[in-house]
Amino acid sequence: MDSPVTTPFSTLIRTASHEQHTEAENSSFMSDMLGGRLGVAAYRRYTEQLWFVYRALESASALLAADPVAGPFIRPELARTAQLERDLAHLGGPDWHAGLAPLPATAAYAARVEECARTWPAGYVAHHYTRYLGDLSGGQIIRGTAEKTWGFARKGDGVRFYVFEGIGNPAAFKREYRELLDALPVDDLEKQRVVDECKRAFALNTAVFQELGREFPLSA
């Protein structure tokens, strides 16, 4: 068995969440959306949910910037809230925010992120990893599909969430990010808790997909 002592933490967390990654990727909402089988209303609803999640992640940035565990991960070039707001204004007009409410699963997800941000910086790192490293990876596939399916300009309004203007070399950025994970200044027991929180983060994402799937079932 791999032990946390010998396995780099970045490998541990990726391996531990692999199965749930596959599950999230293959959720019917994601497959239908990426298969081009859903309308732009579903994409908009999904983007709205992301806004609640990133607001929770990013409103904690100032609070955590000086934290020895979470602080090194807080990088302005990752911040997505402003890009999401531009995308949502494109999708919903200037009043996109009027009457907007999160799905119950999204509210639960955002609440857990906020709780970690307030009380447990290492747990916050699990949420940070689950979202931002995913956006830098599979997010690029989602962008390409969204551009093709709903006719957004390449890297333009509607898909700005997926465009990291401040990151010239995503592969190098991800390498450095993994080095930060490997250097996480916590003991093995705490690392295991972070892995568990990452699994929880994946489950929270999957729950959002399930609710979106119920709202946008395939009519066929």
Judged by beta carbon, residue 82 or residue 141, the one nearer ligand HEM is: 141
What is Dmax (Cα atoms) for the chain? Answer: 54
Judged by beta carbon, residue 113 or residue 133, the one nearer ligand HEM is: 133
Task: Let me know: does 70 contact 128? Beta carbons within 8 Å.
Answer: yes
Judged by beta carbon, residue 60 or residue 126, the one nearer ligand HEM is: 126
- Least separation in angstroms between residue 121's CB and ligand HEM is 18
Contacting residues toward ligand HEM, per CB under 6 A: 14, 21, 24-25, 30, 34, 129-131, 133-134, 137-138, 141, 174, 202, 205
Please tell me the distance from the alpha carbon of residue 102 to that of residue 47, in angstroms, as a whole number: 11
Q: Which of 125, 117, 132 lies closest to 50 in space, CA to CA?
A: 132
- Least separation in angstroms between residue 191's CB and ligand HEM is 14
Judged by beta carbon, residue 97 or residue 183, the one nearer ligand HEM is: 183
- Of all residues in the shown chain, the one whose CB is closest to ligand HEM is 138
On whether 154 is known to bind a ligand per the annotation, the reply is no
On whether 14 is known to bind a ligand per the annotation, the reply is yes
- Least separation in angstroms between residue 44's CB and ligand HEM is 18
Cα within 13 Å of Cα(124), Cβ side? 26
Please tell me the distance from the alpha carbon of residue 81 to that of residue 125, in angstroms, as a whole number: 18
H-state helical runs in 59-138: 61-64, 81-92, 104-119, 121-128, 134-136
- Least separation in angstroms between residue 21's CB and ligand HEM is 6
Please tell me the distance from the alpha carbon of residue 116 to that of residue 37, in angstroms, as a whole number: 36
Q: Which of 161, 181, 200, 197 lies closest to 54 in space, CA to CA?
A: 161
- Least separation in angstroms between residue 189's CB and ligand HEM is 21
Burial of 166 (0-12, 13-18, 19+ CB in 10 A): exposed
- Least separation in angstroms between residue 60's CB and ligand HEM is 18
Could you give the 3-state DSSP secondary structure of residue 26?
A: coil
Annotated binding site: 14, 21, 129, 178
Binding-site residues from annotation for heme b:
14, 21, 129, 178
